[in-house]
């Protein structure tokens, strides 16, 4: 049975966020069109990669279409908060970006992560169409959220837990 298809064109709101204490946070991507809200479960690395990808894509668009006005990066932290209830429609797997020149909308396509027994055609897909400024605001906010986690060890690059960190590069000494 083919997976569900969600197409929010255009979104009235798009954000990314996390719930829980550092080290145990759960990350979400959430978009809204009118009264319909779609929430996807994500990994922190997906949120970071998406945010960086949006910034790079916007730079490419600016080079390709030099007459486009610069996308604003303004956002209101309170308005970027995730909305309850946080009931994810699916866990995001692959994500990609595109651009609709005619409508000046970026599209974020997220495909459901495949379980062991799933075929690719059974995966659900969500497409979120957003203005360039909305996409940039979401990317900047998402990077802030991702960076609010645990500090990173300067020796090994791994996160440091609140109760300490065993660094493999410290010859067995805990920090």
21 within domain boundaries: yes
Cα 108 → chain centroid? 10
- Closest to 81 measured CA to CA, from 125, 15, 129: 15
Structural domain boundaries, residue 117: 5-170
Compute the average pLDDT of residues 120-135: 95
Compute the average pLDDT of residues 50-60: 96
Q: What is the largest CA-CA distance in the chain?
A: 59
175 within domain boundaries: no
79 within domain boundaries: yes
For residue 174, the model assigns a pLDDT of 52
111 within domain boundaries: yes
157 within domain boundaries: yes
Prediction pTM value: 0.84
Number of domains in the chain: 1
Determine what percent of the chain falls in helix, strand and coil, rounding each to the nearest 5. 25, 35, 45
What are 38's strand-pairing partners? 31
40 within domain boundaries: yes
17 within domain boundaries: yes
pLDDT band at 167 (very low <50, low <70, confident <90, very high): confident
pLDDT band at 154 (very low <50, low <70, confident <90, very high): confident
What CATH number is attached to the domain comprising 139? 3.30.2450
106-122 confidence digits (pLDDT tens):
999 999 999 888 898 89
């Amino acid at each position: 049975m083919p997976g569900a298809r969600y197409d929010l064109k255009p979104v009235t709101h798009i954000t990314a966020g996390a719930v829980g204490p550092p080290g145990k946070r759960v990350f979400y991507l959430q978009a809204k069109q009118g009264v319909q809200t779609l929430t996807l479960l994500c990994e922190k690395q997906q949120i970071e990669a998406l945010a960086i990808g949006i910034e790079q894509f916007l730079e490419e668009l600016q080079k390709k279409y030099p007459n486009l006005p610069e996308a604003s990066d303004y956002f209101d932290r309170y308005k970027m908060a995730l909305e309850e209830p946080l009931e994810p429609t699916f866990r995001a797997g692959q994500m990609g970006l595109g651009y609709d020149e005619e409508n000046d909308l970026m599209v974020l396509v997220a495909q459901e992560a495949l379980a062991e027994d799933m075929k690719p055609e059974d995966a659900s897909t969500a497409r979120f169409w957003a203005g360039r400024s909305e996409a940039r605001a979401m990317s900047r906010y998402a990077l802030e959220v991702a960076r609010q986690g645990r500090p990173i060890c300067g020796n090994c690059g791994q996160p440091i837990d609140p109760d300490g960190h065993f660094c493999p590069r410290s010859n067995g000494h805990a920090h």
